[in-house]
Structure 1
Amino acid sequence: MNTFISIVIIFGLLVFIHELGHLIFAKRAGILCREFAIGFGPKLFSYKKDETVYTIRLLPLGGFVRMAGEDPEMIEIKPGFQIGLGFSRNGKVKDIVINNKSKHPDAKVITVEKIDLERKLMIQGYDENDELQTFDVEPKADYIFDEQRTQIAPYNRQFGSKTLAQRAIAIFAGPFMNFALAAVILMSFALIQGLPVDKPIVGDVIEDGAAIEVGLQKGDYVVAIDGKPLETWGDLTSVIQRSPNKELLFKINRDGQLFEVAIVPDARTGPNEQVDGFIGIYPPTEFAVVGAIVFGFTQTWEYIVLIIESLGMLITGQFTLDHLSGPVGIYNYTGQAAEMGILVLMQWAAILSVNLGIINLLPLPALDGGRLMFIGLEALRGKPIDPQKEGIVHFVGFALLMLLMLVVTWNDINKFFL
Structure 2
Amino acid sequence: MIQNPGFLLTILAFVAVIGPLVFVHEMGHYLVGRWCGVKADAFSIGFGPELAAWVDRRGTRWRIAAFPLGGYVKFKGDMNAASQTDPKWLELSAAERSESFPAKPLWQRAAIVAAGPAINFLFAILILAAFAVAYGESRTPAIAGQVQPGSAAAAAGIEAGDRIVSLNGREMGTFDDIRLYAQIRPGEPVAILVERDGAQFTRQGQIGAVEEKDGFGNSFRIGRLGIAPGDPVIEPVSLWRAPIVAIDRTGDIVRTMVETLGQIIGGGRSVKELGGPLKIAEVSGQAATLGVESFVFFMALISINLGFINLLPIPMLDGGHLLFYGLEAIQRRPVSPQVQEWAYRSGLALLLTVMMLVTFNDLSSFGLWERLSDLIG
**TM-score w.r.t. structure 1 length?**
0.62
Q: Secondary structure of 1:35's match?
A: strand
Which residue among 343, 346, 362 is the counterpart of 2:293? 343
* Alignment partner, residue 110 of structure 2: 168
* Alignment partner, residue 194 of structure 2: none
* Alignment partner, residue 37 of structure 1: 44
Task: Tell me which structure has the larger Cα radius of gyration.
Answer: 1
2: distance between equivalents of 1:116 and 1:373? 27
What amino acid is aligned across from residue 408 of structure 1 in structure 2?
A: V
2: distance between equivalents of 1:117 and 1:294? 47
What amino acid is aligned across from residue 63 of structure 1 in structure 2?
A: G
Matched, 1:240 2:182: no
Which residue among 150, 159, 162 is the counterpart of 2:101? 159
* Alignment partner, residue 17 of structure 1: 24
Write out aligned runs for 1:74-89 (5 A). none
With over 3 angstroms needed to count, the CA separation of the structure-2 counterparts of 1:273 and 1:155, relative to structure 1, is: closer
Structure 1 position 340, deviation (Å): 2.6
Structure 1 position 361, deviation (Å): 0.9
Structure 1 position 407, deviation (Å): 1.7
What amino acid is aligned across from residue 334 of structure 1 in structure 2?
A: S
* Alignment partner, residue 362 of structure 1: 312
CA contact (8 A) 2:49 2:65 kept: yes
1: distance between equivalents of 2:228 and 2:332? 62
Which residue among 41, 61, 69 is the counterpart of 1:53? 61
* Alignment partner, residue 295 of structure 1: 245
With over 3 angstroms needed to count, the CA separation of the structure-2 counterparts of 1:415 and 1:281, relative to structure 1, is: farther
1:156-199 deviations in whole A, cap 9, x for unaligned? 21211111111111111111111111101111222333333x4x
- Identity between Structure 1 and Structure 2 (%): 34
Structure 1 position 395, deviation (Å): 3.5
2: distance between equivalents of 1:269 and 1:378? 48
1: distance between equivalents of 2:74 and 2:318? 14
Matched, 1:118 2:118: no
* Alignment partner, residue 226 of structure 1: none
With over 3 angstroms needed to count, the CA separation of the structure-2 counterparts of 1:303 and 1:67, relative to structure 1, is: same
2: distance between equivalents of 1:269 and 1:324? 18
Structure 2: gaps (5+ residues) = 1-7, 151-159, 161-209, 213-220, 369-377
Matched, 1:26 2:1: no
1:125-161 deviations in whole A, cap 9, x for unaligned? xxxxxxxxxxxxxx4xxxxxxxxxxxxxx22212111
Matched, 1:3 2:15: no
Matched, 1:329 2:337: no
2: distance between equivalents of 1:334 and 1:43? 25
What amino acid is aligned across from residue 64 of structure 2 in structure 1?
A: I
Q: Secondary structure of 1:70's match?
A: coil
Q: Secondary structure of 1:21's match?
A: helix
* Alignment partner, residue 187 of structure 1: 129
1: distance between equivalents of 2:128 and 2:43? 27
Structure 1 position 276, deviation (Å): 4.6
1:25-74 deviations in whole A, cap 9, x for unaligned? 11111111111111011221222223222211111110000011121799
Q: Secondary structure of 1:272's match?
A: strand
More helix by share: 2
2: distance between equivalents of 1:408 and 1:273? 23
More strand by share: 1
CA contact (8 A) 1:269 1:275 kept: no
CA contact (8 A) 1:191 1:287 kept: yes
Write out aligned runs for 1:77-156 (5 A). 117-119=92-94, 139=95, 154-156=96-98
Structure 1: gaps (5+ residues) = 77-114, 120-138, 140-153, 199-231, 249-267
Write out aligned runs for 1:241-280 (5 A). 241-242=147-148, 272=222, 274=224, 276=226
Q: Secondary structure of 2:348's match?
A: helix
If asked which structure has higher relative contact order (CA below 8 Å, sep 6+), I would say: 2
**TM-score w.r.t. structure 2 length?**
0.68
What amino acid is aligned across from residue 67 of structure 2 in structure 1?
A: L
2: distance between equivalents of 1:184 and 1:413? 34
